[in-house]
Structure 1
């Protein structure tokens, strides 16, 4: 079986998602907020069975793009790149089939790790995500992310973006 068959909840996330990331410190005070556009892909070429690209835009005009190509084994997606090392797995205890859980560490900072929980709506049109950043066993930051599906057809959206840029 392949990644889509083994991870049907994650497969429902395929597409382009627009959202807002809001960061809070341990005291619950907002410390950052920015918009996002995420491309969640299951490419056919076989190089990486899952590849996510995150585009971030801040109100002051700053932008950032991050690439997250991933391996697949043992019913998990695995990342190991210049920024993070970690995994994603479906939560089998969720009888509603809405939940994916992630764990990752930032490279070069072993005192900081993160758990992420993602819930996709039953109709697949929205999802919410929460991150808990933990340093030395203590909560440091929380991130709340609300996203809406733009298109399941990430190839067409990428082609439109390339045509607009060219």
Structure 2
């Protein structure tokens, strides 16, 4: 009897499945634009566009010039993602390229790992209008503190009214 060392199959990630479907649609749209191009230059332009470009521009409808960032990039800028906001899911840099970039930054030769192949991880981005800047966070904190103080004043006024004997007033 031979023991198998197969890894158990992972449960499919619904975000990845959705991204695969969107990517197929983006690829079809890219081909359609290239086929319908008026000139060879236009066709070449559409063929050179990435799937991520097509996803962001035509599926997520991100306006030109809109700043995008990951959770950690926004956090590094002292920004906070607004409650309830959903990330835009696109393809990240292939793991092989990530390893090569890290090795290059350390001054080491690029690893020749074939283990990763051309696996593309998912990347979760947030638009600038989905985040609160440091100034907006401070303003929100001040507003909450002001509302809390007002509630305490009202509660104190009510307590003071309860303490007054009505017979003495009448």
TM-score, structure 1 as length reference: 0.24
Higher helix share: 2
TM-score, structure 2 as length reference: 0.24
Higher strand share: 1
